Amino acid sequence: MNSSITFKFDVYFYEAFEEEALEIQKYMPSNIKAGYTWTTIQEAGHANPLAPIISVRTQSQFPPAWSDKLQGILSRSTGYDHLIRYKVKTNTSAKLAYLPLYCNRAVAEQAMLLWMALLRKLPQQMQSFKQFHRDGLTGFECEGKRLLVVGVGNIGSQIIQIGKGLGMKVQGVDLVKKHPGIEYVKFEEAIANADIIVSAMNLTSENAGYFNYDKLKQAKKGIIFINIARGELSPIKDLLRLIEENHLGGLALDVYENEVAIAHALRQKETVSDELIKATLKLAEYPNVILTPHNAFNTNEAVERKAEQSVQQIEYYLKHNNFKWTVPE
């Protein structure tokens, strides 16, 4: 730890949108000096960290030069692959932490929202209101459909619970079978019969690109694919090809390959030259594609839990020199 830096704050929060910042401030004790910005680290342009502990979401890029200046990094997310990459790249001694429990239900309900909207052709229905016709709007009901959830962790298990409540035939894919009452299957054995596939996997170096063209091509024509986990699990150009071939009946994404660049380009209204961003924007033109801005976590309830648990993490660190929920080794 570089002790020559003078910090302005005890903790500094990046990517804290207005509602979130207000909730965090509500729980933050007055003796902890905290700073906030809605921007990412790279958008803020800070040459040095403003606090020994920083908190981010998933779009901030950690400067390598900060690796020996930070004591702790808290990601206000259930995923932590970005923290592991920084650790591997820089060998930082900063303690790494995340929030494993705050948004399970919120993300699971977003997955349901997306597959139901695609089953019932909701984007097309909204467009058809202008002419008030119903041609080409006949959709499908959830009951009896086969839902395959890949990644049965805290979020995936909630998706399965919701699917069962809707009368769906639900199966789960995971290396670790820790949740009772779930029919676990192998992906290769279940994909051919699935009507809807939901990606709820943690991203690792081993499973990047898991839902590629060849794998999803094994599904029957008309399959609906939902990714609310990490964009790197589903290569965007492969998804575009499957949509163009009409193999995917519907596609919904809340996360994106190269998400940091996409978010920056759209926020800054930049001229797009990156091929992955171009492919993403082309997908957005299709009526059977729904793209949301990594917003599945964003409910009043989850934002409040996130704020409360973030402050719990900071308080715990300041008392114990470590976080309550640390990134697994």
- The answer to whether residues 40 and 82 touch, using CB atoms and an 8 Å cutoff, is no
How many other CB atoms are found less than 10 A from the CB of residue 183? 10
Q: Which CATH superfamily is domain 11-102+301-320 in?
A: NAD(P)-binding Rossmann-like Domain (3.40.50.720)
Instruction: Give the pLDDT of residue 246.
Output: 98
CATH topology of domain 104-291: Rossmann fold (3.40.50)
Dihedral sign of CA atoms 218, 219, 224, 229 in order? negative
Q: What is the pLDDT of residues 100-148, one digit of tens each?
A: 999 999 999 999 999 999 999 999 999 999 999 999 999 999 999 999 9
Bridge partners (DSSP) of residue 75 are: 56
pLDDT (tens digit, 9 = 90+) per residue, 177-203? 999 999 999 999 999 999 999 999 999
**Dihedral of alpha carbons 298, 112, 194, 253, sign:** negative
Give the per-residue pLDDT at 270: 82
Report the chain's mean pLDDT, rounded to a whole number: 96
End-to-end Cα, the chain, rounded Å: 20
Query: In which band, very low, low, confident or very high, does the pLDDT at 3 lie, cut at 50, 70 and 90?
Result: low
Residue 272: per-residue pLDDT: 83
| DSSP for 247-309, written as a single string | -EEEEEESS-TTHHHHHHHHHHTPPP--HHHHHHHHHTTSTTEEE--S-TT--HHHHHHHHHH
Range(s) within the chain of domains with CATH label 3.40.50.720? 11-102+301-320, 104-291
Q: Where does the pLDDT of residue 273 fall: very low under 50, low under 70, confident under 90, or very high at 90 and above? A: confident
Q: Is the pLDDT of residue 43 over 60?
A: yes
